[in-house]
Amino acid sequence: MLICRALQRKTAPNEERLIVSIDKTGKIFINDSQIQMEDLREQIQKRTAKMKNPDAVFLRADQKLEYGIIMQTMDQIKRAGVPTVGLVTEPPRETTTKKKKK
Q: Report pLDDT digits (tens) over 5-19.
A: 444 444 455 567 899
Q: For residues 16 and 12, give the distance between their C-alpha atoms in angstroms, rounded to a whole number.
A: 8
pLDDT digits (tens, 9 = 90+) for 29-64: 999 999 999 999 999 999 999 998 888 899 999 989
Domain 2-89 has CATH 3.30.365.10: no
Q: Which residues, 6 or more positions from 55, have their beta carbon under 8 angstroms from its beta carbon?
A: 10, 82, 83, 84
Share of the chain above pLDDT 90, in %: 60
Give the DSSP H/E element, type plus range, for residue 39.
helix 37-49
pLDDT exceeds 50 at position 97: yes
